[in-house]
Homo-oligomer: A and B are copies of this chain.
Amino acid sequence: MTAIRYPNGKKYVPAASANASKQPTMQNSYSNRGMTLEEDLNETNAYYLEQNIAVIHKKPTPVQIVQVDYPKRSAAVIKEAYFKQPSTTDYNGVYRGKYIDFEAKETKSRTSFPLQNFHDHQLVHMRKVAKQGGISFVIIRFSLTEEVYYLPAERLFEFWDRMENGGRKSITKAEIEESAFSVPLGLYPCLHYLSIVDKLYFAEDET
Contact = CB atoms under 8 A, between A and B. Distances in A.
Given A63-B61, A67-B6, A18 B76 contact: yes
A49 interface: yes
A203 B151 CA distance: 35
Contacts of A87: 1, 57
Interface string A56-88: 010111111111101000011111111110111
Given A96-B132, A97-B98, A63 B66 contact: no
Interface residues of A, number: 56
Interface of A: 1, 4, 6-7, 12, 14, 17-18, 20-21, 49, 52, 54-55, 57, 59-68, 70, 75-84, 86-88, 92-101, 125, 128-129, 131-134
